[in-house]
Amino acid sequence: MSDGGGAFAIATFHSTHSVLKAEKLLKEAGLEGVRLVPVPSQVSSDCGVTVRFAATDVARAAEVLRQLADDLQGIFVESAGGWVPFP
Amino acid sequence: MESTPKLRYLDNGATSFPKPAAVAAAMSHFLLEVGGSPGRSGHRLSQEAARVVFECREALAALFGAPDSRRIAFTLNATQALNTAIYGLLRPGDRVLTTAMEHNSTMRPLRDLERRGVISLEVLPCDGAGRLDLGRLGSALRTRPRLLAAVHASNVSGAILPLREVGAMTRAAGTLLLVDAAQSAGALPIDVEADGVDLLAFTGHKALFGPQGTGGLWARPGVEPEPLFRGGTGSNSELEEQPEFWPDRLESGTQNAVGIAGLLAGVSFIAETDLARIRAHEVALTQRLLDGLRDIDGITVYGPERAADRSPATSVTFAGLVPSEAGFLLEEGFGVLTRVGLHCAPAAHRTLGTYPQGTVRFAPGFFTTKEDIDVALEGCRYLTAKRRGAR
């Protein structure tokens, strides 16, 4: 899953709408490398896509995504080939 | 009148024409370059399509002052939005108010529920220009009905509902306010928060400059209409029950993403042009039309006096000439395209006293020119002079 670099984190949502909103908010907040990816098989999500960013940005992302809290299912950080809930 | 006259499109109340070039370009781009099913597959074209739908929702929310774009569900048109609001919210025993200027897209669903004994319906009177009697509204609200369904701008007389005033009244009474913004969305300022609107039904293909087959329903959080249709939403796929959250709750089946791509370009066109500028242009044209029409003997003009107090839809009747014939002659002789008859709003025509023959409706739009108006007026003068000569 890692593109020759550091680990990733993802945020999953009930609706595609919120995934796209999250992508927009994270980009506006200046996070690098934000993109939509399919939901990893180890994580369950109501919709098929999730927003991915660098694991080093996870605290910042969690702060930004608080405004989507009612639709947020979870934030996960990549660790040893699996996904660990954050915080 | 030998050759075919240049077309003068004055039927923007039915649908705006032409559309901004950017609308056609966005739809072409979508069909040739984007084209995925929004929110269904994880691949880039599906994501790109979903992004277009998302951006259109955001742009509409900004236009209507809606704080959360998730609360806008796309529909085929204002009719589907109104039906969703009416059938999705009203329950046995509900008391409902509406106005004597409604389009059948509101009146027919309400009359259906009334006939089947589900709701009781009171139709509030409007004056001869189509303006709601606010005194009667005030008394009717004292009994705290569940819902007021009201048209923002009449498609027949151009009368405008004083939205903020009405919204303050319904809010104070605890009555939900459903606004039919088919004619007004994109043409008149709307701020759902400040105006006290609870549900806003709009179409994409009129003043929002989108293609036909686009529209939507916005509802305030806590106002949760049941969907008319249930089905695949691309979310909660493991469940056999419809998701509760917006917009998926009301958006089953593949959405009209190509249409929504066009609508996004239309809404962006409004933002770039500035709604106030669009409104000023349409008011100037409508005033020119009203002044010219009132100078012609044998024509009766309906609706509020000043263009600034109305939407561009301008209805007239010709003495001794039925609307269908007048419309035909205006097109044949002058290339002027109007809409004649009852405009799907028999209640409005009863209010104006133009039922059952209806009126000839001129509806200038942003792409209408002064010359178009002048040719229409020339046509009207010709028809009335000919009529007088025939006597």
The pair of structure tokens assigned to B32 is 């040739």
Q: What is the pLDDT of residue A2?
A: 41
Q: What are the pLDDT digits (tens) for A66-75?
A: 999 988 999 9
Give residue B272's pLDDT band: very low, low, confident or very high (50, 70, 90).
very high
Cα A29 to Cα A26, B68, B352, distances in angstroms: 5, 19, 55
Verify whether the Cβ–Cβ distance B51 to A20 is below 8 Å: yes
Task: Give residues with Cβ within 8 angstroms of B7, minimum separation 6.
Answer: B335, B337
For residue A4, pLDDT beyond 60: no
Instruction: Specify burial of residue A82 (Cβ count, 10 A radius: 0-12, 13-18, 19+).
Output: exposed
- Phi first, then psi, for residue A41 (nearest 5°) are -65, -25
Q: What are the pLDDT digits (tens) for B310-335?
A: 999 999 999 999 999 999 999 999 99
Q: What is the pLDDT of residue B2?
A: 55
Q: Return the residue matching tokens 């955001």.
A: B58
Instruction: Specify burial of residue B27 (Cβ count, 10 A radius: 0-12, 13-18, 19+).
Output: buried
b or e along B239-257 (b: 16 or more beta carbons within 10 Å of the residue's beta carbon)?
A: eeebbebbbbbbbbeebbb
Contacts of A47 in chain B (CB under 8 A): 39, 234-236
Verify whether the Cβ–Cβ distance B40 to A48 is below 8 Å: yes
AA letter at B94: D
For residue B391, pLDDT beyond 70: no
Q: Which of B10-14, B239-243, B320-324 has the lowest mean pLDDT?
A: B239-243
Q: What is the pLDDT of residue A1?
A: 43
Q: Hey, which residues 53-82 in chain B have their CB within 8 Å of chain A? A: 54, 57-58, 69-70
Average pLDDT over residues A55-77: 94
For residue B74, pLDDT beyond 70: yes
Q: Is the ipTM of this complex over 0.90?
A: no
Looking at the complex, does the CB of residue B38 fall below 8 Å from at least one CB of chain A?
Answer: yes
Q: What are the pLDDT digits (tens) for B172-206?
A: 999 999 999 999 999 999 999 999 999 999 999 99
Structure pTM?
Answer: 0.94
Residue A6 is classified by DSSP as: S
Q: What are the pLDDT digits (tens) for A11-26?
A: 999 888 999 999 999 9
Q: What are the pLDDT digits (tens) for B133-172?
A: 999 999 999 999 999 999 999 999 999 999 999 999 999 9
Give residue B70's pLDDT band: very low, low, confident or very high (50, 70, 90).
very high
For residue A3, pLDDT beyond 70: no
Distance CA B52, CA B69 (A): 13
Q: By CA distance, what is A14's nearest residue in B? A: B235
A44 against B359, higher pLDDT: B359
Q: By CA distance, what is B67's nearest residue in A? A: A67
* Opening angle at CA B112, ends B108 and B118, nearest 5: 140
What value does the mean pLDDT of chain B take? 95
Task: Give residues with Cβ within 8 angstroms of B34, minimum separation 6.
Answer: B45, B48, B49, B52, B257, B261
Q: Are B115 and B168 in contact (CB under 8 A)?
A: no
Looking at the complex, does the CB of residue A18 fall below 8 Å from at least one CB of chain B?
Answer: yes
CB pairs under 8 A between A and B: 59
Q: By CA distance, what is A23's nearest residue in B? A: B51
Task: Give residues with Cβ within 8 angstroms of A52, minimum separation 6.
Answer: A8, A9, A10, A33, A34, A35, A36, A37
Neighbours of B106 (CB within 10 A): 27
Residue B199 is classified by DSSP as: E
Q: Are A69 and A63 in contact (CB under 8 A)?
A: no
The dihedral through the CA atoms of B249, B250, B253, B257 has a sign that is: negative
Distance CA A49, CA A15 (A): 9
Contacts of A46 in chain B (CB under 8 A): 235-237, 243
Q: Hey, which residues 200-239 in chain B have their CB within 8 Å of chain A? A: 234-237
Looking at the complex, does the CB of residue A2 fall below 8 Å from at least one CB of chain B?
Answer: no
AA letter at B176: L
* Opening angle at CA B330, ends B324 and B334, nearest 5: 165
Average pLDDT over residues B206-230: 98
Domains of chain B (ranges; CATH) run 21-273 (3.40.640.10), 274-390 (3.90.1150.10)
Give the 3-state secondary structure of residue B346.
helix
Distance CA B207, CA B15 (A): 8
The H-assigned helical ranges of A1-87 are 16-28, 58-64
Give residue B234's pLDDT band: very low, low, confident or very high (50, 70, 90).
confident
Looking at the complex, does the CB of residue A27 fall below 8 Å from at least one CB of chain B?
Answer: no
The structural architecture, per CATH, of the domain A8-86 is 2-Layer Sandwich (3.30)
Q: How many CA atoms lie within 13 A of B296 on its CB side?
A: 27
Q: What are the pLDDT digits (tens) for B22-62?
A: 999 999 999 999 888 887 777 888 888 999 999 999 999 99
> Widest CA span of chain A, in angstroms?
34
